[in-house]
Amino acid sequence: MDASELHIPVMLDRTLELLAPAIEAAAAAGRTPVVVDGTLGMGGHTEAMLAAHPTLVVAGIDRDPDAIRLAGERLARFGDRFRPVPATYDRIDLALEAAGVEAADGILLDLGVSSLQLDDADRGFAYAKDAPLDMRMGQAGDVTAATVLAERSERELARLFQVYGDEKLAGRYARAIVAARQEAPIETSGRLVDILQAATPRALANQGHPAKRVFQALRIEVNQELAILEATMPAAIDALAVGGRLVVLAYQSLEDRIVKRALQAAAASTAPPGLPVELPEHRPHLRLLVRGAELADDDERAANPRSAPVRLRAAERIRPIEPTAGEHA
């Protein structure tokens, strides 16, 4: 299996363009530039970065052992310029340690489920393929999509589908699932799809696949994606060297909201209202590099349908974070 054939990196050229100034500045200063690819996946973004910058080192994080293995094969020609880190992407500290640095010149987060996981029928991520309802990105831990469906109450399932999937029929679907599991456990994606289709009013049957948002909600819950992202954003900002750049690609509104909030907070002054002079400790830590969120262009959407929902945000670290009172630099 060739990773390069499985994965088309989303917004690759724009990502390289945004990270390049920080990488080139580090090289010009005589340092070895370091980028943390927090969501290594199939290694497409990392491959392009390593090819474009001959002295760059990339520490690539992924919780999925299959992704680490396949990306490692794809990137073998770069030798120790690629450092694999098996972990969730909030463990940026482990990536810095693997690269032998205290701060990164660039950090990339390409969020959501990877091509490898979507295309592996045995994982149960895709509602179009009948498979066991697993959905664990890293194949570790006891919680699967099947256990969530088996153990959560009707109210808990409804809230899950509403909050993580923005599903308007959340209550209806939760009731149908609870009723169906009384007859037999819901253990395959095909059975879940059948339950959801049967519970969908005929008038809404042509308004998108009824399983899309439910599957998204289950995946987010099983992998604790939003909790990890909430922890990752401040860690990523703190891990950037001054002049370092952070690029984040988000594919659904809940992720993008977390990213937007973290970047905007770090790019805003914290000076109290009415203070006549902004003190150094109140100055922003980041400078936003794009206006709002950038989208993939029409050509990329046509060539790579998985780029359609992407929202890209980026920022540059412009000053250190001073220690708070009682801490020492």
Q: Which of 294, 324, 316 is nearest to 307 (CA)?
A: 294
CA dist 176 and 168 (Å) reads: 14
Beta-sheet strand order (sheet of 57-62) = 82-86, 57-62, 34-37, 104-110, 240-250, 311-317, 286-288
Is 166 assigned a ligand-binding role in the annotation? no
For helices 170-183 and 189-199, angle between their N-to-C axes, nearest 10 degrees = 130
Cα angle at 308 between 303 and 312, to 5 degrees? 110
CA dist 187 and 97 (Å) reads: 40
Q: Which of 50, 74, 71, 75 is nearest to 61 (CA)?
A: 71
CA dist 253 and 220 (Å) reads: 13
**How far lies 51's CA from each of 48, 135, 156, 166, 234, in Å?**
5, 33, 47, 40, 29
Is 251 assigned a ligand-binding role in the annotation? no
Cα angle at 220 between 148 and 301, to 5 degrees? 140
CA dist 129 and 135 (Å) reads: 13
Is 62 assigned a ligand-binding role in the annotation? yes
Cα angle at 316 between 271 and 237, to 5 degrees? 70
Contact 249, 310 (CB under 8 A): yes
Is 64 assigned a ligand-binding role in the annotation? no
Is 44 assigned a ligand-binding role in the annotation? yes
All residues at 6 or more sequence positions from 192 whose CB lies less than 8 Å from its CB, including other chains: 127, 133, 149, 177, 186, 211, 214
Is 45 assigned a ligand-binding role in the annotation? yes
**Which residues line the annotated binding site?**
43-45, 62, 89, 110, 117
User: Residues annotated as binding site for S-adenosyl-L-methionine?
Assistant: 43-45, 62, 89, 110, 117
